[in-house]
Amino acid sequence: MTSPATGRSLGLLVCLDCRQTVRGVTARHMRCPRCHAPLHERKPHSLAVTTVLVVCAAVLYVPANLLPVMITRTIFDDERDTIMSGVLVLLHSGSWPIALLVFVASIVVPLLKILALGVLLYTAWRRSPRRRLQRSELFRMVEFIGRWSMLDIYAVSLLATLVQIQSFASIIVGWGAWAFAAVVVLTLLAARTFDERLLWDKPQHD
Amino acid sequence: MSVIVCPACDLAHRFTAAPASGHRQCARCRALLQRRENPSIDTAIALAVCALVLLVLSNAYPLVAMQVNGSSRDTTLIGAALGFYAQGFESLAALVFLTTVVAPLLQITTLLYVLIPLRRKRRAAGQNAVLRILTRIRPWNFMEVFMLGAIVALVRLSKFAHITPGIALWSSALLMLCLSALTSQTSPEHLWRWVERNRE
């Protein structure tokens, strides 16, 4: 079987900043002739950096879901809300479409992202030849949906700013919000450091 | 150069003029390879000016006001970030500030800084560096996510308080639409095609 011509086999690089194809003469410390962005054949240390980011995100996912994201303080008591109990509050107040939205954006998406990145990392490391197109599309989906998990952070920021009425109620931000934001940012960074071309690279025969 | 390489899977393709129907996909991984030709620099500048006006409005007026038990509170876009800061979560405040104020502002101002001289056949000082800042900052504009978050917060509040949407809520919604139109009008390919046309 003849392998298709790739940038690597032809000695061509593509600039990820301006998308120009460049003839790679010396691979070290090369810059794009058009936009002067640093050029790399593959993102440097992609698998190692991405693995570290995903592992950190997976660890922080636990406190993000167990610690309260916000504490509602009234004259009677303190009500601690985790992400899941926030979804239930929305569900009981009768706005199930919003409850479903928050459930998907805050619980399903981060978990799926961590799992998907784990699968992609493992198969890219193994240089698995199976289902390349599906894995490529999985990666693009991870890239696309990742940002929507920030939704809960913005909701908490507005609630904590608005609900500061001394005699009635005040909302205090909890460390769960911090852990949750860290999970979202770490997975966003992981999607940027992962080089999807690794999913397509052939094992090197020497 | 007559070859283009797919940035997503490294497959080499023969360069052809992008099909009139629209986008060209990579034959192997189906990533976007080439975009439609002839974007208009005037449209991009108009959208950027429009977005700038909306951004100023969004930050100058209150987003929402809340009335409960006769007392009233309101907040602006920056106020939402300051809410985290006031409670000692500086990193969260910085994250909200970066994604809802700084990223949109930089996206608009860097574009105007480069595009207005380009339209007059000139070249802005430090053009390439500014364009690189633009490509780096653009993925951190989370305006549309913020809008959805605001809706979630308002639904939760509306149970026990009276909520009045402010001018900034409407202008932020328009800003979100304007920014996504601006982003699709000023893809890296478009920007660099304008830059190269100017060099000739």
Please tell me which of the candidates A153, A159, A177 has its beta carbon nearest to residue B156.
A159
The residue that leads in pLDDT, A36 or A52, is A52
Predicted pLDDT of residue A167: 65
- Alpha carbon B80 to chain centroid, angstroms: 19
Q: Which of A110, A75, A122, A74 is nearest to A185 (CA)?
A: A110
Predicted pLDDT of residue A27: 54
pLDDT tens readout for residues A161-186:
988 876 678 888 999 999 999 999 99
Output the 3-class SS for A114-156. Answer: HHHHHHHHHHHHHCCCCCHHHHHHHHHHHHHHHHHHHHHHHHH
Amino acid at B195: V
Predicted pLDDT of residue A179: 95
Test B142 with A101 for CB contact under 8 angstroms: no
Predicted pLDDT of residue A182: 96
Predicted pLDDT of residue B187: 86
Domain spans in chain B, listed from the N-terminal domain onward: 1-37, 39-199
- Which residues from chain A sit within 8 angstroms of residue B92, using beta carbons? 153, 157, 173, 177-178, 181
H helix runs in A33-108, sequence order: 46-66, 83-92, 96-103
pLDDT exceeds cutoff 90 at B104: yes
Please tell me which of the candidates B12, B155, B156 has its beta carbon nearest to residue A12.
B12
Query: Chains A, B: CB contacts under 8 A, how many?
Result: 199
Predicted confidence band of residue A206 (pLDDT cuts 50, 70, 90) = very low
First to last CA, chain B: 16
Give the mean model confidence (pLDDT) for residues A90-103: 87
Query: Model-level pTM?
Result: 0.90
Coil, strand or helix: which one is A172? Answer: strand
Give the mean model confidence (pLDDT) for residues B28-53: 87
What is the rounded average pLDDT for all residues in chain B?
Answer: 88
Test A34 with B71 for CB contact under 8 angstroms: no
Predicted confidence band of residue B32 (pLDDT cuts 50, 70, 90) = confident
Predicted confidence band of residue A36 (pLDDT cuts 50, 70, 90) = confident
Q: B11: which DSSP letter?
A: B
ipTM: 0.89
Closest chain B C-alpha to A127 CA, distance in angstroms: 13
Predicted pLDDT of residue A57: 95
pLDDT-above-90 percentage for chain B: 43
Predicted pLDDT of residue B37: 64
Test B66 with A34 for CB contact under 8 angstroms: no
Predicted confidence band of residue A1 (pLDDT cuts 50, 70, 90) = very low
Predicted pLDDT of residue A93: 81
pLDDT tens readout for residues A124-133:
998 888 888 9
pLDDT tens readout for residues B120-145:
988 888 888 899 899 889 999 999 99
The residue that leads in pLDDT, B90 or A30, is B90
Parallel, antiparallel, or unpaired for β A12-14 and A164-165? unpaired
pLDDT exceeds cutoff 90 at A190: yes
pLDDT exceeds cutoff 90 at A52: yes
Closest chain B C-alpha to A193 CA, distance in angstroms: 13
pLDDT exceeds cutoff 70 at A25: no
The residue that leads in pLDDT, A108 or B4, is A108
Interface-testing mutation among A153, A154, A156, with chain B (most B C-beta atoms within 10 A): A154
- Which residues from chain A sit within 8 angstroms of residue B96, using beta carbons? 153-154, 157
Coil, strand or helix: which one is B103? Answer: helix
The residue that leads in pLDDT, A184 or A36, is A184
pLDDT-above-70 percentage for chain B: 95
Q: Which two tokens stand for residue A177?
A: 């919000």
Domain spans in chain A, listed from the N-terminal domain onward: 1-41, 45-199
Predicted pLDDT of residue A166: 62
Please tell me which of the candidates B30, B150, B159 has its beta carbon nearest to residue A154.
B150
The residue that leads in pLDDT, B200 or A30, is A30
